[in-house]
Amino acid sequence: MGSGGGFEPVDWIWRDGEFVPWNDAKLHLLATAVQFGTSVFEGIRAYDTKRGPAIFRLDDHVGRFRKSVELVGLPLTQSDAELRRACIEAVRANAGAKVVKLNAFLPSVEVDVVPVDDHVAVAAAAYDPWEDVQARKQVPPARAPRTVRLWLEKERRQRRPDILHPHAKVAGNYTSAMYAKWQARRHGYDEVLLIDAQGFLAEGPTTNFFLVDAGGVLRTPPEHGVLLGVTRMSVIALAEAGGLEVLEEPLRPEALFEASEAFLTGTSAGVWPIASVDGRAIGSACPGPVAGRLGERFRRAVAGEDPAFVSWLTFVNEVG
């Protein structure tokens, strides 16, 4: 895997049962997946543990991937077992991988939005996005800040289930969120928090949102209007295991400024404490005590150090 200067792209991408070199894993500019935004994907973390590399909640990620494919209507023929095997083999083939990107896409060049050639290709790429991709560009690795300065979306309502369900991780579902995050960056913020069609707080472009109210209750938007985040699900389980009350309910934007603390969760972000929203500090300290405890227990869980949650890990060297 890449390590900066003198980088040589020797890693491999699994595609339809075979490995191809990174630079040969290409798609035509006019492919259906590119022209119509129909590529379904899943981001999955791989972690270093004392038992070797481990994939975090692989079955749950494959299940969410399957649900996305069904919501979009792609005629995927691979079984869940084949999808899991693709991810495991990709991690084995690429030492030091931190992320697995599982993709299902229509590679054929078509005139209509409904393809004549409906073969759905599947690819699994295992790599370190903070090192490998940056090394290819010959620029320093980009890492997220330790805490996040959040911008609240002001212009557009997001997450319309009557158009494309927010549970679907499909390329076209991210275009509006990309625009919103770009605007936030241009205003000097790290991330944007999206608002749903009813004016309630929703999520970040690739993260879920939590706040802790004045009574110490952990609150998060209900799952019907947000992506079913695997890290979100894990943090809820960790919170409940620690005796913390968790409520899933609609949250108005003003609830943010009444919170004692708030944080985002995601595959890449983990538990990401929110320092401020629109320049206004959240709580008296960042990270707050709840985010600190959950972040530490999440770190232990993904490292295989918490026996209560070791079942979340697939140890790739122990799979036959």
Positions marked catalytic: 169
User: Among residues 88, 105, 95, which one has the least CA distance to residue 37?
Assistant: 105
Q: Find tokens 């603390």 and name the residue.
A: 261
Per-residue exposure over 77-110, b if at least 16 CB sit within 10 Å of its own CB, e if not: ebeeeebbbbbbbbbbebebbbbbbbbbbbbbeb
**What span, in angstroms and rounded, lies between the C-alpha atoms of 246 and 15?**
40
Task: Give the number of other Cβ atoms within 10 Å of residue 34's Cβ.
Answer: 17
